Structure formats: structure tokens, C-alpha cells
Structure 1
Amino acid sequence: MKDATRQDWRKQLLWGMLLIVFGALVLLDRAELLELDFDLRRIWHYWPWLLVVFGISDMLPPSSPRLFLNGLWKVFFAAWWYVSYEHVWGLSFRDSWPALLIAWGLGLVLRPLLNDYFNSNKEH
């Protein structure tokens, strides 16, 4: 199976599972079998976890440097968003945006290293 096909399959599986779980929870809530409080403001705090799940999905197993770095970027962005939104360590969006520049630079530095690593593993 080609790497792109495998990655597409994995993303489709993840989206499908998330939709099934969300739909089942809402259905159980509407049928009054489960009592959930769907307060969108409260749920908003947890949306970065979707990025973490999709980021880890891109990273494991790493099929290419581009996919690995995209996954790493998603996980970092989700962490940055959470830290900024919840003011962890007293940081806000205004104070913490330079972390995005650092992550971008780190990605630029890691790309050639990961290319070398992936190419050397293909030769074995």
C-alpha cells in the first residue's frame, strides 16, 4: 500500500470514528439515556485535542518527512493554542506568538535532517 493511500485511509478512519462517537453521544443525549451538557463555550476549550489526534496520526508511523513535520506542527499548534487560550504560565496570544516563529524555524531545520534520515532508512 502506498504511503499516500495509507495516510488517506487513516484520516478517513479517524474522521469516521470521531463522527460515530459524536453522533452516538448526541443521540444518547436526545434519547435521554445519557445526560450531557452541550455547552459550546465549554466544548470550545477542547477542540485542540482534535489537532493532537490528527497530528499524532500523521506522525505514526512516519511515512515521510513532510507528513511527520505536518503532524508535529499540528501537535505544537494545539499546545500553543491551549496555553494561550487558557493563559497557562500567564501567557496570552499576544505574549506567546513568537513560539510559532520558533516552531516554524524548527520545522525548517528539521526537514533536511528528516529527509536524510528517511533516505538512509530506505537504502537498508
Structure 2
Amino acid sequence: MNKDMQGRNQLLWGLIVIAVGVLFLIDFDMPPIGQLWRYWPFLVMIFGAVKLIPPTAPKHVVDGLCQIAFAGWFYASFEHLWGLTFNNSWPILVIIAGISMLVQPVVIKYTAKKEENQ
């Protein structure tokens, strides 16, 4: 992991800890812990978004989008949104992996060409 990503991760975790502290400070009505764990995919989505803002490498763009897609799939399957379950929707993960494998070299090649032209 390069220094830029380490700095981003530290910034993200710092913001999360601050948000949790503020919620406790304002006496936020905390739902039971058993209900909170179902929202962990949103943390994965946040980490994916951090890779996108601003993208430091083409690989980060693709990785961030794949993390967001995975977390969205997991949440939709867990909550049975649109009739999705883990049993009937696992091929979506295969599709996400395939798209990642196709898009990553294209994005890297496109950005390399763009940098050459500048």
C-alpha cells in the first residue's frame, strides 16, 4: 500500500471515529448491536468511494467500483431486496469479477495513452 492510500485510510478511519464519538456525545438512540452489524456493507462502500475521490491510479478506480458493487450486492442479498438472496444472486459476483478483469486493463491503457499525449 502506497503512502497516499495509507493517508486516505487513516483519514477515513479518523472521520469514522469522530462520527461515532459525536453520536455518543449527542446521546444518540443506539439500536441494538444485533441490528447494527447488518449495515457493515456501507463501510465497504465508503472505502470503495475513498479510492475514487480523487483516483490516484486507474487500478484504484476499478477496485473502488468493485468494492461498491460487492457491498451493494451483499446488502441487497442480505435484505432480500428485489427478491435477491445469496442462493439466487451469487452469479452477480462472478459478473462483477469478470467486468473488473475486462475494464481494468482498458482503463490502464486509456490513462497511459492520455498521459503520453500530454
Normalising by structure 1, report the TM-score: 0.85
**One-letter code aligned to 1:85:** F
RCO higher in 1 or 2 (8 Å CA, sep ≥ 6)? 2
Structure 1 residues 75-107: Cα deviation after superposition (integer angstroms, max 9, x where no partner): 001100111000011110011000000000000
Match of 2:30 in 1: 37
* Structure with the bigger percentage of helix: 2
CA distance in 1, matches of 2:48, 2:107: 17
Question: Offset of 1:25 from its aligned partner?
Answer: 2.3
Normalising by structure 2, report the TM-score: 0.89
CA distance in 2, matches of 1:63, 1:101: 26
Percent same amino acid among aligned pairs? 36
Runs of 4 or more consecutive aligned structure 1 residues displaced over 3 Å after TM superposition: none
Where 2:108 maps in the other structure, the secondary structure is helix
CA distance in 1, matches of 2:76, 2:104: 26
User: Does residue 89 of structure 1 match 2:82?
Assistant: yes
> How many residue pairs are counted as aligned between the two chains?
117
- Supply the RMSD in Å over aligned alpha carbons: 1.7
